[in-house]
Structure 1
């Protein structure tokens, strides 16, 4: 007890040491828990990847077995359609039917084949749905592009013009892909003995260059508009009237509807791409409309003093001139378009350069080669690399 009558710790150094020890122990336990959680996540990711590899092996085996069964059926139908009076044809038909019946008697294989046939039917339905949605998207993009041209003319907004350029990008890419697909399907073994599968990546690289230049030009125009307004006070008039809002709002509603429709078939890779495209369009159009609307209603008009308004408590003394939101929104949308097409062009450039396939795909091919025949004991070298949009295996 001290002179003032208060109780004091007889050993303050020991108490401080105990407190430090407790803190150190707690931090050590937290570190161990975090390490254990990280190790658990890595282990879960590893086993998830292994399960995906096994699923791919199973799907490949089922597909090969189904192809073999289809060939047997074709041989059987060919034998039936031949001369039934010829003894050799009858023997071939009986042999084909016997092999077909032998396969069908194996219940395990038969169940796998039935499941594969169901999967093929489902894939066929998804492919038809993807084709319909692609055609609908192409038509919708054409209509929306015309509507955005009208909205751009009425408003004079750089943000809406950038959204219109985005629609031109979508429409042009869809048309070029459609044309390139037709060119690829029309094979000419004399002029193009290895096919024309490289037409698609070449066309997309060309589009990437053109759209990248258009985006850069739009960025330059937006920066020029900001400079003229800030330095010289020259502001281009923006008129985001109700017709413009109605056009852009309808565009957002249509794109959002298509996004939800595509979500029902998102297991298909093509439809998944369409779904992402519709979602990104909704975001970019909404941002463009918001920037244009705020710049029109809350920005200083041409000829007025550059004072602006107070919005949500921002700049309460002098006010904020939101006129600059319009070219700023155009710059953001243009940078997004530029980034998207640079990434697309680079991806297809890699395909043309003959880059090797992913290790997972190479392992799947090696697995099927080993399992093809028991006499195959090992494989020396396997090359799998891009040949256009597809792969070439050596």
Structure 2
């Protein structure tokens, strides 16, 4: 159990001793605990509990583009990459390697065996480093490819009048803008100064969903303009199909081939972060394939309205996609209640404290931006000592905050099952 003192049962036996008897070693860490087995996962906490929370949620319908989610995942991948690479000192390890010709000159048989064994260990560690460097390569190549392909799309879009190609260009440009917004807000969140900590005592993590909200508005307005242009081109009864130049076709084909190649090359790297990058490449391939097919088929089939129609359909989809993202962020910033699955998990956590509490008056969980805040109102015997009451409440708080979804947990204690629960405002509303 976590806390300044161990919790004892009524028979005086500490709970951590029960874990020892069952073969589970006691652990004082309180983050990411497995309550069922009494084990703990010491994975270091990094920026986004959102990504951890998402991994526990049911799979969502894959959408063409969700630059907010993609940018956040790119940011997490960069943080993971930097953390991993900072621990690799290849040159520092290589100085312990003994060349084969020097080993052969050693007369002591046991000493020769020692150096050969050491070289084999260095080879194994080098193999591990290669895997980590491969993850770094995948991340950096994808970022470089996005910048290069944006430049080629811009050149192609200005050499042709295709609206589908323009929609693809705007989407790519705003994706990079979203990455910049997420990176900037994340830096502001992590920027810790004493003056800022006094002004924002609980941190500034809600800057991240606010940044995504602002960007989603920009995204919707931009594609509304493309939709307006596509409708204006569809209004006349006749028109001429837009011809895609070789530069435009080459640009989109290069995007599809390069993104597809990066996705296939990254597929063998079985890490969550790189696999998310593979999914991002897959959505890029789908979007750019449609951006190429609409004007190309329209030109060769002499269907002039197919290109503006395709641009309008893509714009409608992105407007719907980002409108949903915007609404989602607004509701979460407004304090939306958590989903049933998260509430069940928190209820089960509370249930595991049944041996040391009399009951629970209420469990309230709601979003405060991307993270979740949860309030427990627990019942204790009126004769419970202050020290024991403190340990129970603090342990429940730490266990709840150890869950990936939870940012903050608040625990209040009570001895009467009948009476107001929660805050003063809640009590007034109930009456």
Q: TM-score range by the shorter chain?
A: 0.5 to 0.7
In structure 1, C-alpha distance between the alignment counterparts of 2:278 and 2:144, rounded to whole Å: 16
Change (3 A) 1:262 1:370: farther
Structure 1: state its 5+ residue gaps.
1-64, 73-98, 300-321
Change (3 A) 1:272 1:208: farther
Structure 2: state its 5+ residue gaps.
6-13, 27-33, 46-51, 53-75, 83-134, 376-431
Does the Cα contact within 8 Å between 1:163 and 1:285 map onto a contact in 2? yes
Residue 277 in 1 paired to residue 280 in 2?
Answer: yes
In structure 2, C-alpha distance between the alignment counterparts of 1:281 and 1:333, rounded to whole Å: 13
Does the Cα contact within 8 Å between 2:178 and 2:212 map onto a contact in 1? yes
Structure 1 residue aligned with 2:297: 294
Structure 1 segments, 4+ long, off by >6 Å, are 101-104, 111-115, 118-121, 123-127
Alignment of 1:350-361 (within 5 A): 350-361=331-342
Alignment of 1:1-394 (within 5 A): 108-110=23-25, 128=80, 132=136, 136-187=141-192, 188-228=196-236, 230=237, 233=239, 235=240, 238-260=242-264, 263=267, 268=272, 274-299=277-302, 322-372=303-353, 374-394=355-375
In structure 1, C-alpha distance between the alignment counterparts of 2:289 and 2:366, rounded to whole Å: 41
- How well do the aligned residues superpose, as a CA RMSD in angstroms? 3.8
Change (3 A) 1:197 1:219: same
Change (3 A) 1:214 1:257: same
What is the CA distance between 1:108 and its match in structure 2?
3.2
Change (3 A) 1:366 1:136: farther
> Residues 333-354 of structure 1: CA distance to partner in whole angstroms, max 9, x if unpaired?
1112111111111111111010
Change (3 A) 1:220 1:239: same
What is the CA distance between 1:157 and its match in structure 2?
1.2
Structure 2 residue aligned with 1:57: none
Does the Cα contact within 8 Å between 2:19 and 2:38 map onto a contact in 1? no
In structure 1, C-alpha distance between the alignment counterparts of 2:200 and 2:43, rounded to whole Å: 34
Does the Cα contact within 8 Å between 1:197 and 1:387 map onto a contact in 2? no
Change (3 A) 1:373 1:114: closer
Structure 2 residue aligned with 1:38: none
Change (3 A) 1:177 1:216: same
TM-score (norm 1): 0.59
In structure 2, C-alpha distance between the alignment counterparts of 1:346 and 1:271, rounded to whole Å: 29
What is the CA distance between 1:180 and its match in structure 2?
1.3
What is the CA distance between 1:118 and its match in structure 2?
8.9
What is the CA distance between 1:134 and its match in structure 2?
5.6
Change (3 A) 1:125 1:342: closer
What is the CA distance between 1:372 and its match in structure 2?
4.0
What is the CA distance between 1:196 and its match in structure 2?
0.9
In structure 1, C-alpha distance between the alignment counterparts of 2:155 and 2:78, rounded to whole Å: 36
What is the CA distance between 1:140 and its match in structure 2?
2.6
In structure 2, C-alpha distance between the alignment counterparts of 1:257 and 1:117, rounded to whole Å: 35
Describe the SS at the equivalent of 1:196: coil
What is the CA distance between 1:279 and its match in structure 2?
2.2
The structure with more radius of gyration? 1
Describe the SS at the equivalent of 2:23: helix
In structure 1, C-alpha distance between the alignment counterparts of 2:207 and 2:139, rounded to whole Å: 20
Structure 2 residue aligned with 1:305: none
> Residues 263-305 of structure 1: CA distance to partner in whole angstroms, max 9, x if unpaired?
556873x666544433222112101111121233332xxxxxx
Does the Cα contact within 8 Å between 2:24 and 2:39 map onto a contact in 1? no
Higher fraction of strand: 2
Higher relative CO (Cα under 8 Å, sequence separation at least 6) belongs to: 2
Does the Cα contact within 8 Å between 1:126 and 1:265 map onto a contact in 2? no
Change (3 A) 1:200 1:336: same
In structure 1, C-alpha distance between the alignment counterparts of 2:147 and 2:188, rounded to whole Å: 22
